[in-house]
Structure 1
Amino acid sequence: MSSEVVIRVAGLSKCYHIYDKPHHRLMQMLSRGRRTYFREFWALRNVSFEVRKGEAVGIIGRNGSGKSTLLQLICGTLNPTSGSVETRGRIAALLELGSGFNPEFTGRENVFMNGAVLGLTREEMEARIADIEAFADIGEFIDQPSKTYSSGMLVRLAFAVQVCIEPEILIVDEALAVGDALFQKRCFERMEHLRSNGTTLLFVSHDQESVRALTNRAVFLHHGEVQHTGNSADVLLEYRRLLHEEETRALGEAAARLRNRAAEQRAQQAARPVAPATAASPAAVDAPAPSRSAELSFGDMDAEVVSVSVFNAGGEPCSHFDPRDVAQVVIQCVARRDLDRLNVGLRIRNKEGVKIYSWGTLNQDMAIRAGLADGEVFWNRSFKAGEVFSVSLDFVVGLGPNLYEIQASITQEGKPYYAEQRMLHWMDEAAFFTVATDPRTYHFGGVVDMRMSSRLLGGAS
């Protein structure tokens, strides 16, 4: 292996035997190969790449793609089925929360034990213990059994040990996700410091921005195979493209399920006698959305959201946007009885469940009545039983890279606005769209595109 190459992975594969029942393991052993009682699961297949000294390489991929298995093979905690791994230099790895810690030992005892495992003498660890204590910042708990630690305290101490011994190769696998924001900031600063001093970094994270900022090269794993390698920005672009393709397929299947469910609800509604008009009942205008495991829709069903479609500026169906694009959401509804004072709206949430934006025809009606906008007041419209109508909601996307869910609703509003409201139909997961940026031409960090601009103030002429 070249002196510049510190990690070489060649044709690496790892196969697990999956047994449906516990006693099948014994039967397999007794059969001596005459019969097979297991199924093969290949966590990795023919993975090859090299990492040079001082490089920072990200490992990305969806859950189950083989990232953690690859790191364990590199560290030597797993043996490969085929292929080889060569490493040069002391490896410090943070693979699992508290791995290598004895829960009965105090934090200090675990620090010295980890140092011994990594080949450091007692004197060398004594020289580093103050730095480790300061970085971990867990106070007097350093002398308490580690079984009393919270997950955050455990990862603080584990990470402090690994980075303060100044390893030649540092491997981090998603462990920082449990740390608080300030501790994560300090960890990233320390990793940058180690990189500048020549430490080689292998970094696994689902946070694409962290991979982009911290690494200069990346390996994209998909179903245990190397899908793409190269510059981190280019690999992340390929990763997002694959995510979009898979999400589009999943969204198509979800839309089919929603259509089937809506058809069933319409059939049930048609079989019921039409109820007489009743007084509107109060309800919260911004009630929390139902969980994804709950019913996908609810309401009095006197009017119904039939479909929700997403289009681009050209009027073509679209589910993938750039932040600068114009999007159009069309909500098609049907009145099941004579109705007026309606509000058709939507809510946009990101995949983490955070509400990004909610808006409806009533918001525009209020602006028109206040003289801040022009147009017809939708709230004044009346609809006959059986009447089908559609509402178009247009906007500049202006969102950061993510997967977004559209929730749609149709309500009957009281007098004055928001005094009373009756939920006629709420549809959860009505539609989805994704947003991505091209890091070569237009990129920003965060949730919302604030369209900032820059200019030079003063300076030499």
Structure 2
Amino acid sequence: MSSDDYSIRVNGLGKCYEIYATPRDRLKQFIIPPIQRLVGYEPSSYCREYWALENISFDIRKGEAFGIVGRNGSGKSTLLQLITGTIAPTVGTVETRGRVAALLELGSGFNPEFTGRDNVYLNAMLLGMTHAEVDERFDKIAAFADIGDYLDQPVKTYSSGMLVRLAFAVQVQIEPDILIVDEALAVGDALFQKRCFGRIEKLLSDGVTLLFVSHDQESVRTLTNRAILLKGGREVTMGSASQVLLDYRKLLHQEESAYFAKLMQPAAEKTPAAASRGETSKAPQESEVAELQGNSQSVTEAPALAGRADQMSFGDGGVEVLAVGTFGADDEPCAVFYPGDVIRIRVDCISRIDTDCINVGVRIRSREGIKIYSWGTLNQDMQVLSGLREGDLFWKRQLKAGEKFHVWLECDCSLGSNLYEIQASISYEAKPDYSAQRILHWKDEAAFFQTLMRQDEYFFGGITDLHMAARW
């Protein structure tokens, strides 16, 4: 990348905070170490260092959409504050080129005693607009915010949703070169979010650089090209948005598995002691099973998949996806379908343990990475349990160690022309309602298929067929 081809350049960035046990220690740190240095002694320290961010480096090209993902406390907001200049780095440098518009905290820069109208002028002028420019664009700002008569009420009376409406409306009207969004859109209603994403896409098409932070993985996948994953203030991985999000899901799964394994450890330690006292152990109650999200057999005997060579898979192990294939109505392998065809998906599996409470499912994503549909055997079991259909429960099926089995999932093709990816998963469901789930095996890019149109016979636009009809 040439020196003139970037909007944001971050090099060796780090932010360290000093943590004090008491206010007295803060005062000691302020007075005693400078005196010790003056008299030639090694200075004492009355605080501990906390690195909220450490050794982060990346470049973002002009017009690029870049995502930042990670759990709460991973350093995402600290990184954005350093980039916008609201806090100073301890080490490293940040360079930005162009006008920056940032939505970091709800209502940041707003005076709670002023009205919404007054805050529009105040905020816009702080961002570099003149009073005349605000006058010219005020109607557009008010229309986008769409808060009605509240525009002339004090901001302290606003809900969080109204605050972000007004803040976003101001930021996008200053025509930024760099737009930074940090979870701010999560509080808006569905219609406002749609309007915001539409505006963001318009800015991207105009060459604006986007730095986007969200826990909504589908939004990150759809809006951004590249991303970085943070954990504990450090970079875990950086690359294409789809690959980083896969690594993010693996990270979440590993942390969740470690958490539940820790929960189960005290129960496992108590069992031998109870037996030595001659006590009879009781079966765990349903609420306990739901809390632990799995049985001890699966945890202790199942080989984990998180470290396997297949980078597209993760899970606790125990039951695995061997292969996934797509077939036509005649049970012949088929990878191209037309509207009205039957799509049959076969998931071949093997169980390494004795278990039940299993769900085999798939997720279908478009070429753009948008989730189209997800469904599994547990969805059908839930219909049976609620009396909406008849049949046996796959959830109650007893699987034996070494047993191979397969599941057929089928539907009518109602998808628009595109290439689709099938992700396959096997999960342990402590309860038959998805409320206590543990992933045993998840496989990205398990299979692909394509849908086409016979345009002279049956045609529609979009991602799915709504089977619309006309009347007159």
Please give the TM-score of this superposition, normalised by the length of structure 2.
0.66
% identical aligned pairs:
47
- Where in structure 2 are the equivalents of 1:187-226 lying within 5 Å? 187-226=196-235
In the TM superposition, what whole-angstrom CA distance separates every residue of 1:292-335 from its partner, at most 9, and x where no partner exists? 9x9769xxxxxxx88567979xxx94378699564769787xxx
Deviation at 1:233, TM superposition (A): 1.5
Task: Please say which of residues 83-92 and 220-229 is displaced more in the overlay.
Answer: 220-229
**2:451 is aligned with 1:454:** yes
Deviation at 1:3, TM superposition (A): 2.5
- Where in structure 2 are the equivalents of 1:381-400 lying within 5 Å? 391-392=398-399, 396=407
Q: Which amino acid is 2:197 matched to?
A: F
Q: Which residue of 2 aligns with 1:44?
A: 53
Deviation at 1:183, TM superposition (A): 1.3
Task: Please say which of residues 2-11 and 84-93 is displaced more in the overlay.
Answer: 2-11
Distance in 1 (CA, whole Å) between partners of 2:270 and 2:407 is 31
Distance in 1 (CA, whole Å) between partners of 2:393 and 2:83 is 65
**2:98 is aligned with 1:101:** no
> Which secondary structure does the structure 1 equivalent of 2:162 belong to?
helix
Deviation at 1:260, TM superposition (A): 3.9
Deviation at 1:120, TM superposition (A): 0.4
Distance in 1 (CA, whole Å) between partners of 2:140 and 2:73 is 36
- Where in structure 2 are the equivalents of 1:26-425 lying within 5 Å? 26-33=27-34, 34-260=43-269, 270=279, 290=287, 317-318=317-318, 324=347, 326=349, 357=378, 391-392=398-399, 396=407, 406-407=429-430
> Which secondary structure does the structure 2 equivalent of 1:240 belong to?
helix
Residues 27, 56 of structure 1: alpha-carbon distance in 2 compared, 3 angstrom cutoff = same
> Which secondary structure does the structure 1 equivalent of 2:93 belong to?
strand
Q: For the Cα contact (< 8 Å) 1:6–1:53, is it kept in 2? A: yes
Residues 442, 27 of structure 1: alpha-carbon distance in 2 compared, 3 angstrom cutoff = farther
Q: Which amino acid is 2:194 matched to?
A: K
Q: Which amino acid is 1:250 matched to?
A: Y
In the TM superposition, what whole-angstrom CA distance separates every residue of 1:118-176 from its partner, at most 9, and x where no partner exists? 11001111111111111111111111111101111111111111112221100001111
Q: Which residue of 2 aligns with 1:9?
A: 10
Please give the TM-score of this superposition, normalised by the length of structure 1.
0.68
Superposition RMSD in Å: 4.4
Q: Which amino acid is 1:61 matched to?
A: G
Deviation at 1:11, TM superposition (A): 1.1
Q: Which residue of 1 aligns with 2:331?
A: none
Q: For the Cα contact (< 8 Å) 1:308–1:330, is it kept in 2? A: yes
Q: Which residue of 1 aligns with 2:438?
A: 432
Residues 438, 108 of structure 1: alpha-carbon distance in 2 compared, 3 angstrom cutoff = same
Q: Which amino acid is 2:455 matched to?
A: G
In the TM superposition, what whole-angstrom CA distance separates every residue of 1:163-206 from its partner, at most 9, and x where no partner exists? 12221100001111111122111111110000000110000111
Structure 1 residue runs without a partner (length 5+): 275-288, 298-304, 333-343, 349-354, 379-389, 410-427, 444-451
Residues 434, 108 of structure 1: alpha-carbon distance in 2 compared, 3 angstrom cutoff = farther
Residues 402, 206 of structure 1: alpha-carbon distance in 2 compared, 3 angstrom cutoff = farther
Residues 400, 177 of structure 1: alpha-carbon distance in 2 compared, 3 angstrom cutoff = farther
Distance in 2 (CA, whole Å) between partners of 1:166 and 1:232 is 26
Distance in 2 (CA, whole Å) between partners of 1:109 and 1:402 is 53
